[in-house]
Amino acid sequence: MKDNLPDKDGFFGEYGGKFVPETLMYALNELEQTYKTLKDNNDFNAEFHKDLAEFVGRPSPLYFAKRLTEHYRTASIWLKREDLNHTGAHKINNTVGQILLAKYMGKKRIIAETGAGQHGVATATVAARLGLDCHIYMGSEDVRRQSLNVYRMKLLGAEVHEVNSGSATLKDALNEALRDWVTNIEDTYYIIGSVTGPHPYPMIVRDFNAVVGYELIEQSQESFGRMPDSIIACVGGGSNAMGIFYPFIKMDNVELIGVEAAGKGIETGEHAAPLNDGTPGVLHGAKSYLMQDESGQVKGTASISAGLDYPGVGPEHSWLKDIKRAKYVAVSDDEVMKAFHMVNKMEGILPALETAHAFAYLDELMPKMNEDQHIVINVSGRGDKDLNSVVEIEGIKL
Amino acid sequence: MKRIEKKLKELSQDNQKAFVGYIVAGDPDLETSLELMHLSVDSGVDILEIGVPFTDPIAEGPTIQQAHDRSLENQTNLQKIVDLVGKFREKDSNTPIILMGYINNFLMYKDLINRSHDLGVDGVLVVDIPGELSLEDYGIDNQDLDVISLVSPTTSKDRVKEIVKNSTGFIYYVTLRGVTGSSNLDGNEIEKNIKHIKSISSIPVMAGFGIKNSDDAKLLSSFSDGIVIGSSIVELIYKNSENKDFHEVSDYISNMKDAIR
C-alpha cells in the first residue's frame, strides 16, 4: 500500500492538486519549498516535538473505556485522548507545526478560517505565543453557535472577522481567508486547519497530525501487545482522521473507519457527508468528493456540529475511499446526541459533537466484533464549546 | 482567423487599444444580460467577458461575488449561458466572447464547452487552474477555443514562460495582489512585468483587476494591448437593475473607451 503520496504535483491518485488563482501559486510554491527543506531538518523537528511535549502536553493517553466495553460486550474499546491536549482538540498539533513554518519563513501576519472555532482558538494560541498579528475568519452562523470560542480567540489577541457571504459557515470562511491571502500574499501565512485546500496543505496538515497515529502504534503495543483491529474517527475536512490513519495505511489488517455527518439523514439531502453522497469536484483548491448539484454549484450542508459542516473533504480521504483502504460511514444528528450522552454518563468524558459522531458508529460496529479484538476511537476534541448548542437543541433552561 | 486574434489585429492596425468588458451572465436576469451585451458593444467594448456564476468564487471581491449570488438565484448555469451567447450571435458575429469562471462548473459541462465554439464562444478563462496546466488534461480540448491565462505580479519568470506557451488569444495580466475590484495599482511594477511578458512572446497582453476610472485606464493601456474592466461595470448594472435604464453603464463604457484611445 502506498503511503508516499501526494505525488510531486500534489495528487493522491486523481484527487488533490493546486486549483487556485494565479496570485496564490507563488505562496504555495514557496511553502512547498520551505516544508521540503525543513521536514527532515533536525532543529526544526526538535523544536516541533519540544512544543508538542511541553506546550501541548503530548503524548495524549490511550485510555481503556471500561464501561463502554462492558456495555457492548465485544471488542475492547480504547480512546486516544486528543481532547486532553492544550486548547482541547487535535487542532493544536497542526497549528504548532505551521506556526513554526511561518516563523522560519519570516511571516509576520497569520490568518486562518474556523468552523467550530477549535482551529481558530488553536491558531490564535500559537500566534499569541510568538506575538504575531492574527486574523480569524468565521461564518456568522458559526460565530453565533460557538460564541465561547469567539471570545477565547479575542482573549488571545486575535481579530475575528465575521463572514456573511454564502451560507455563512466554514466553506465561506475559507473563501474569505483565501481572498485575504491573495491580497496580503507577501507578509501573510495562511494556517489551513484541515487536510483540505491546495497542495501542499493536505500533506502538511496530515504530517503534523500524524503524531497521533505514531503515538498510537507504540501505545497499542504497550497496552494490548499488537496493532488495533479498527480505528474510528469523525471526518469533516478530515484532519483528525488523517492524522490517526496515516501511519496505519500500509498495515492492511488495520481497518480504518471515517464517520461523516449524516445530519438529518443521508436520504433527506440535508447532511455534510460528501464521501457517502457526493461526487468528485473542485473546491478550495483541491479535487475531492464534494456535495454539489448537476451544474457544479456547491450545495449547502447541514450538521449539528459546526466542525463537520463542510461540503468537501480532504483529497487523501477521497483516494482512500476509491482504493477501498478506508471505509466511510455516516451517522445522523439524533444518533450523535444519543452517543454524546452515553459517553458522558459511562466514561465521564464530555466529547465534542464532532467527536460524538465517531462514538455514534459503535452501535453498528460493535455487534460485528468479537471479544479478542481491540478498537480505537480518536477522541478528537472535548465538548465544552458545544454546551450552548446542546442546551439549545434539547430546549433546556439553565 | 480566430475572432479574438482578428479583433486584436484590427485594433492594433488602427493604433487602438482593446477594451475587454466583464458582466455576470444572469445578473439581473439572462434577458437583460443579452441586452447589456449589445449595449456594451455599442458603447465601446471590443471583447466581451461573460462571468459564469459560482457559489464559491475565491478570486472575486464583494461586488462580483454578490453578482454571482444574484445570478445563481435565477438558476443560471453554463447551458443557459451558452444559449445566451447563441442569441447574441443572431445580431453580432464580430465581437469575441470569452467565458470566465471556475473549474468546477466547466468540468460539469465539458462536452458543452467543447461544442461551444460552434455555438459562438471564442475562448475560456478558468480562474482557478494554474496557467502551466493544460485544460486538455481535464477534457476541455477543442483547439478552436482560445485558452486565456492569468499572469500576476507574483508569477515567477520561469512560470511566465510556461504559461505563455499554453495560452492563446491573449494573456490577462492581473495588475494587483488582491481580488477583483480592489485598489492600489502600482504602475511601475505593472509596466515592468508586462514588458517582460512581451519580451518573451508576441501574444497580446491585457491588464485588469482594479481599474476604476479613466486615469487608471489610460495609464494601464499605455503599456498593454488593452484593459479589462469588471467590477465597476457590474456595480453600475446592479445600481440600475431596478428600473433597467442602463445609460449610466453605457456612459461609463464610452468614457473608458475614450480614455484609452
Mark whether A123 and A166 lie in a shared domain.
yes
Name the percent of chain B lying above pLDDT 70.
Answer: 100
Which residues of chain B make contact with A22, given a CB cutoff of 8 A? 130-131, 149-152, 154-155, 163, 174
Point out the residue among A22, A171, A282 whose CB comes nearest to the CB of B152.
A22
pLDDT of residue A270: 96
d(CA A377, CA B82): 50
Q: Hey, what's the cell of B94? A: 464580430
**pLDDT band at residue B180 under the 50/70/90 scheme:** confident
Instruction: Extract the runs of DSSP E, i.e. beta strands, from A195-254.
Output: 230-234
pLDDT of residue A3: 65
Residue-by-residue DSSP string for A310-371? -S---HHHHHHHHTTSEEEEEEEHHHHHHHHHHHHHHHS--B-HHHHHHHHTHHHHGGG--T
Give domain status of residue A8, yes or no. Answer: no
Q: Hey, what's the cell of B231? A: 467590477
Residues in contact with B216: Cβ distance below 8 Å, sequence separation at least 6, in sequence order: B185, B210
Write the pLDDT tens digit of every residue in B20-43: 999 999 999 999 999 999 999 999
Domain that holds residue B17: 3-259
The residue whose grid cell reads 486532553 is A84
With CA atoms as reference, report the closest residue to B170 among B150, B153, B156, B187. B150
Q: What are phi and psi of A279, to 5 degrees?
A: -135, 155
Q: Hey, what's the cell of B27? A: 445578473
Q: CA B47, B48, B49, B54: dihedral to nearest 10 degrees?
A: -170
Report yes or no for ipTM above 0.85. Answer: yes
Question: Phi-psi bin for A38: left (phi > 0), alpha (psi -120 to 50), beta?
Answer: alpha
Mark whether A299 and A173 lie in a shared domain.
no
Q: Hey, what's the cell of A213? A: 497515529
With CA atoms as reference, report the closest residue to B84 among B46, B34, B148, B22. B34
d(CA A250, CA A273): 25
Point out the residue among B54, B77, B154 whose CB comes nearest to the CB of A185.
B154
Residues in contact with B127: Cβ distance below 8 Å, sequence separation at least 6, in sequence order: A21, B57, B59, B100, B101, B102, B103, B150
Q: Active-site residues of A: which are they?
A: 91, 113, 380
Last residue of a domain, one of A176, A205, A234: A205
Interchain CB distance below 8 Å, A171 and B131: no
Interchain CB distance below 8 Å, B56 and A20: no
Give domain status of residue A3, yes or no. Answer: no
User: Amino acid identity of A227?
Assistant: M
Give domain status of residue A153, yes or no. Answer: yes
d(CA A274, CA B43): 46
The residue in chain A having the minimum alpha-carbon distance to the alpha carbon of residue B75 is: A295
The residue whose grid cell reads 481497518 is A255
Q: Hey, what's the cell of A79? A: 480512546
Mark whether A245 and A300 lie in a shared domain.
yes
Last residue of a domain, one of A188, A205, A222: A205
Interchain CB distance below 8 Å, A25 and B103: no
Contact residues, A window 298-317, toward B, CB-based 8 Å cutoff: 298
Q: CA B177, B178, B183, B185: dihedral to nearest 10 degrees?
A: 20
Q: Is A185 on the interface with B (CB under 8 A)?
A: yes
Give domain status of residue A6, yes or no. Answer: no
Interchain CB distance below 8 Å, B56 and A283: yes
Mark whether A195 and A267 lie in a shared domain.
no
The residue that leads in pLDDT, A396 or B130, is A396
Contact residues, A window 155-174, toward B, CB-based 8 Å cutoff: 165-166, 171-172
For residues B249-257, average pLDDT: 98
Residue-by-residue DSSP string for A178-208? HHHHHHTTTTEEE---SS-SSTTHHHHHHHH
Q: How many CA atoms lie within 13 A of B184 on its CB side?
A: 9
Mark whether A182 and A69 lie in a shared domain.
no
Q: Is A373 on the interface with B (CB under 8 A)?
A: no
Q: What are phi and psi of A51, to 5 degrees?
A: -65, -40
The residue whose grid cell reads 494560541 is A125
d(CA A293, CA A224): 47
Mark whether A279 and A355 lie in a shared domain.
yes
Mark whether A265 and A383 lie in a shared domain.
yes
**Domain holding B242: CATH number?**
3.20.20.70
The residue whose grid cell reads 494490548 is A224
Interchain CB distance below 8 Å, B152 and A23: yes
Give domain status of residue A321, yes or no. Answer: yes
Mark whether A223 and A368 lie in a shared domain.
yes
**pLDDT band at residue B178 under the 50/70/90 scheme:** confident
Point out the residue among B57, B105, B174 whose CB comes nearest to the CB of A295.
B105
Point out the residue among A22, A182, A285 whose CB comes nearest to the CB of B151.
A22
Give domain status of residue A7, yes or no. Answer: no
Q: CA–CA distance from B184 to each of A267, B153, B202 (Å)? A: 49, 13, 28
Domain that holds residue A162: 13-51+90-205
Mark whether A239 and A97 lie in a shared domain.
no
For the beta carbon of residue A109, count every other beta carbon within 10 angstroms. Answer: 17
Interchain CB distance below 8 Å, A25 and B154: yes
Give domain status of residue A335, yes or no. Answer: yes
Write the pLDDT tens digit of every residue in A209-221: 999 999 999 999 9
**Domain holding A197: CATH number?**
3.40.50.1100
> Does residue B114 have a pLDDT over 80?
yes
pTM for the whole thing?
Answer: 0.96
Last residue of a domain, one of A205, A239, A267: A205
Which segments in chain A show pLDDT lower than 70?
1-3
Environment class of residue B114 by beta-carbon count within 10 Å: exposed (0-12), middle (13-18) or buried (19+)?
middle
Q: Hey, what's the cell of B247? A: 445609460
Mark whether A356 and A252 lie in a shared domain.
yes
Q: CA–CA distance from A121 to each of A57, A208, A354 (Å)? A: 16, 17, 16
- Total domains present in chain A: 2
Give domain status of residue A184, yes or no. Answer: yes
User: Amino acid identity of B219?
Assistant: L
Contact residues, A window 208-267, toward B, CB-based 8 Å cutoff: none
**pLDDT band at residue B130 under the 50/70/90 scheme:** confident
The residue whose grid cell reads 486574434 is B5
In residues, how long is chain A?
398
- Total domains present in chain B: 1
Within B44-109, where are the H helices?
Answer: 62-73, 78-89, 103-108
pLDDT of residue A2: 57
Count how many pairs of residues, chain A against chain B, have C-beta atoms within 8 Å: 110
Burial A66-80 (b: 16+ CB within 10 A, else e): eebbeebebbbbbbb
d(CA A357, CA A260): 7
Mark whether A126 and A249 lie in a shared domain.
no
